[in-house]
Amino acid sequence: MNPRPLSPHLQVYKFFPVMALSILHRITGVWLTLGLLTFTYWLMSAATGEYEYERATAFLGSWPMKVLLLAWLAAWCYHFVNGIRHLCWDALIGIEKAQARRSRVLVVAATAIAWLSFAWLLFCGRGFAP
């Protein structure tokens, strides 16, 4: 008896950049879940007391955690912008090949602009505040 064929897999399809953006969307979703757990830790430390909050703030304010914060920020920006793109696709807007190619460039550009803007506001944008 011959084994039944498997459903089409990645070996069958030709790789396109649109596929990379779809895979990256899933990866950023998982990464954001880890960020949410970190955020929950910070909130729980605030609810526990002043000593725990100071410990958590010192830990989360370290340079390695700031790098992770930037990575979570980049993931959030990408996931948000690409999620809007997926919502447009659900409404049958921009699903043609040429439109999808243009929108992928737009997604990457908008993500970079949003990430740089938010990162600047977080780490440099004190403005006139004391």
Q: Enumerate the domain spans of the chain.
A: 35-123
pLDDT above 50 (res 20): yes
Mean per-residue pLDDT, 84-88: 94
pLDDT averaged over the chain? 88
Q: Note the helical H segments in 49-96.
A: 50-60, 63-90
* Residue 39: predicted pLDDT: 93
* Residue 128: predicted pLDDT: 47
Could you tell me the pTM of the whole model? 0.80
Return the CATH architecture of domain 35-123: Up-down Bundle (1.20)
pLDDT above 90 (res 5): no
Q: Give long-range contacts, CB 8 A cutoff, 24+ apart: 31-35.
A: 31/71, 31/72, 31/75, 32/72, 32/75, 32/76, 32/79, 34/72, 35/68, 35/72, 35/75, 35/76
* Residue 51: predicted pLDDT: 95
Mean per-residue pLDDT, 100-112: 94
pLDDT above 80 (res 4): no
- For the purposes of burial, counting CB atoms within 10 Å of the CB of 81, is it exposed (0-12), middle (13-18) or buried (19 or more)? buried
Q: Which residues contact 17 (CB under 8 A, 6 or more apart)?
A: 101, 104
- Tokens 């000593």 correspond to 51
Query: In 10 A of CB 4, how many CB atoms?
Result: 6
Each residue's pLDDT tens digit, 25-82: 999 999 999 999 999 999 999 999 999 999 999 999 899 999 999 999 999 999 999 9
